[in-house]
Chains A and B, each alone.
Chain A
Amino acid sequence: MTGRLVLATALAGVLVVPLVAPAYHVLLMLPFMAYGVALLGLNLLFGYTGLVSFGHALFLGIGAYTGAFLTHRFGVRSLEVIVVTAAVLGALVAAPVAALCVRYVKIYFGMLTLAFGMVFYTFVLKFYRLTGGDEGTPYLRPSLLGFALDGIPKTDYLTGPYYYYSLAVLILASAVMWRVVHSPFGLCLKTIRDNPAKAETLGIGVRRYRWYAFMISAVYASVGGALLGAPIGNVDPTLAYWTHSGNIVFMTLLGGFASFFGPILGAFVFIYLEDFLKSLAPSSWRLIFGALLAAIVIFAPGGLMGLFRRARPLEASRA
């Protein structure tokens, strides 16, 4: 009950942010929502299936480059088309990558995802003609629901229509993922996370399910990447760099991977904390960030969500 209240309050807050908050803070919400979508996917793999990917920036990159290519090269400006294309391309790339990665678990899985991420990073960095190399490719302002919106100033566009568009995608993505994790399929993923050998004796094909989870998470990350690129206006290889993969894992740990909304909270806190620390200590903010991560892992392995609800039986009794 309190959970619903908190969720409703948060939603109401997010809805009124553009009306009350200064543009600067509204703009910070855009990457938060884009990461939110990607993290829902990452956490299906991490929190629900027990696989930690250090290569999901690959799919953020695919999503962002899809938007850049479509708007800049092909003159396709519709964000709906971009999002769907990003999802399809993400799935196409993920299919073989996932098939190879899910043969391994734990650190080997993580290292393999990292390796694929590095391959993609090198590809976008080196194929200058195609991707613009380290200069990147422009991501032109996408049209929303058929409205071109080229006439209004950039900030108005981003803090108005684009903000609510992102929010709608995040809400839709959350609703779909909520169904997935509370489905029979979601239960099978949890058995694999908890005890793969036992899951197999119950007739649950572990690799097959891990592959499904990877595919879904890749599609989510690609959609998140498509949303992430537009406000920046230019997509460059740093989006696909492994530190970016690390950041989204950090967000997940920060918020708490054991909870559905934990990673989204993690993204929110990460972005505002990073912004705050950067202005507070421009040269040493990474140090503080690192120390914070260490502190979380040691003192609050459940992340922020874990701190909020030490009394976990609530979830269990509702199941």
Chain B
Amino acid sequence: MILRADGVRKSYGQFCALDGVSLTIGRGEFVSIIGPNGAGKSTLINVLTGVLRPDAGTVRFKDRDITGIGPVRLARLGMARSFQLVQIFPDLTVLETLQAAVVSRLGRGTRLFASLARDRQVEEGALEVAELFRLADKRHTPSRQLPQGDKKLLDVASAFALRPQIILLDEPTSGVSTADKTTIMEILVSAGQRIGLQAIIQVEHDMDIVFGYSDRIIALHQGKVLADATPAAIQADAHVVDTVIGRKTTRPGAPR
């Protein structure tokens, strides 16, 4: 087990976003968190990544309490994340973006007088990830000029360049065309294997993606864990399907 949350509660004023959520993520798992809008998915991700401090409960990563630890130290510990809205460095090229992540991983950010261009280890580390994410041809393109799908890939790629043990992806395929979604997921899974990623957690709305790639699905509803089971078991649970998924997977092709 690599990540564990116990009895996490978080309220915003009167509204209870998370009402005692417990979960565990084991090594080698691909876990999807699903749930309707307002179920507490984003809050959960923010608690799991130490951005938000829960009102009660703990989050432990590799047996270390990471409650409210903040993004910088979390990245050092080996947990990376990407955001629902794509986050890039508009004026930096693809290569520079990945180099920044490698510089951070190697702890070379305070090298004031060293030449970045001559740092082979940083460049090779960046290029390796660029290849994995099929961005090597565009390595000198400024990020803002990339098509949307590539921006999304670059965002995730820079998180991978940290060589984390676990990665949390907030809707990795949102805002991307259906054709690109599968490509992104294929790249993601194979890149994860290549860099030795131990677990992937994603929040995702696209049920084809969720059921196609997850080892396990955690369904949230009104701040509680409604179900935590394999895709097959989730699909067989009529209650979960009704409250969380809707009709989409039970009647494929039906108009939403």
A interface list, Cβ under 8 A from B = 176, 179-180, 182-188, 190-191, 193-195, 197-206, 209, 212, 316-317, 319
From A197, A203, A212, give the contact of B75 (CB < 8 A).
Answer: A203
Interface: B88 (CB within 8 A): yes
From A179, A182, A203, A317, give the contact of B104 (CB < 8 A).
Answer: A203
Query: Which residues of chain A come closer than 8 Å to B76, judged between CB atoms?
Result: 203
Known: A176-B113, A187-B92, A187-B100. 8 other contacts (CB 8 A): A183-B116, A184-B122, A190-B92, A199-B89, A200-B70, A202-B158, A209-B109, A319-B96
Answer whether A195 and B88 are a contact pair too, CB < 8 Å, given A185-B111, A202-B101: yes
CB <8 Å contact, B72 and A203: yes
Q: How long is the Cα–Cα vector from A198 to B83 in the complex, in angstroms?
A: 9
Query: How far is the CB of B94 from the nearest CB of chain A, in Å?
Result: 10
Query: Which residues of chain B come closer than 8 Å to A317, judged between CB atoms?
Result: 140
Query: How far is the CB of B87 from the nearest CB of chain A, in Å?
Result: 4
Interface: B99 (CB within 8 A): yes
Query: How far is the CB of B112 from the nearest CB of chain A, in Å?
Result: 5
Query: Which residues of chain B come closer than 8 Å to A201, judged between CB atoms?
Result: 71, 75, 80-83, 87, 159
Number of interface residues of B (CB under 8 A): 44
Q: How long is the Cα–Cα vector from A45 to B87 in the complex, in angstroms?
A: 22
Answer whether A194 and B89 are a contact pair too, CB < 8 Å, given A180-B113, A186-B116: yes
Residues 109-148 of chain B, each 1 if its beta carbon lies under 8 Å from chain A, else 0? 1111111110100100000000000000000111000000
Interface: B166 (CB within 8 A): no
Query: Which residues of chain B come closer than 8 Å to A212, judged between CB atoms?
Result: 110
Q: How long is the Cα–Cα vector from A171 to B50 in the complex, in angstroms?
A: 46
From B87, B113, B119, give the contact of A198 (CB < 8 A).
Answer: B87
From A180, A187, A199, give the contact of B96 (CB < 8 A).
Answer: A187
Answer whether A204 and B89 are a contact pair too, CB < 8 Å, given A183-B111, A183-B113, A187-B103: no
Q: Which chain B residue lies CB-closest to A317? A: B140
Query: How far is the CB of B119 from the nearest CB of chain A, in Å?
Result: 7
Pull 23 A–B residue pairs with CB atoms less than 8 Å apart, ordered by A: A179-B113, A183-B116, A184-B108, A187-B92, A187-B100, A190-B92, A193-B91, A194-B89, A194-B90, A198-B83, A198-B155, A198-B158, A199-B100, A200-B71, A200-B75, A201-B75, A201-B87, A202-B158, A203-B105, A204-B72, A204-B104, A212-B110, A316-B141
CB <8 Å contact, A188 and B100: yes
Q: Which chain A residue lies CB-closest to B159? A: A201
CB <8 Å contact, A202 and B75: yes
Interface: B25 (CB within 8 A): no
CB <8 Å contact, B99 and A187: yes
Query: Which residues of chain A come closer than 8 Å to B199, judged between CB atoms?
Result: none
Query: Which residues of chain A come closer than 8 Å to B39, judged between CB atoms?
Result: none
From B71, B72, B91, B111, give the contact of A184 (CB < 8 A).
Answer: B111
Query: How far is the CB of B8 from the nearest CB of chain A, in Å?
Result: 21
Query: Which residues of chain B come closer than 8 Å to A198, judged between CB atoms?
Result: 83, 87-89, 155, 158
Interface: B93 (CB within 8 A): yes
CB <8 Å contact, B96 and A190: yes
CB <8 Å contact, A190 and B89: yes
Query: Which residues of chain A come closer than 8 Å to B112, judged between CB atoms?
Result: 179-180, 183, 185
Query: Which residues of chain A come closer than 8 Å to B188, judged between CB atoms?
Result: none
Query: Which residues of chain A come closer than 8 Å to B83, judged between CB atoms?
Result: 197-198, 201
Q: How long is the Cα–Cα vector from A212 to B103 in the complex, in angstroms?
A: 17
Query: Which residues of chain A come closer than 8 Å to B87, judged between CB atoms?
Result: 195, 197-198, 201
CB <8 Å contact, B115 and A183: yes
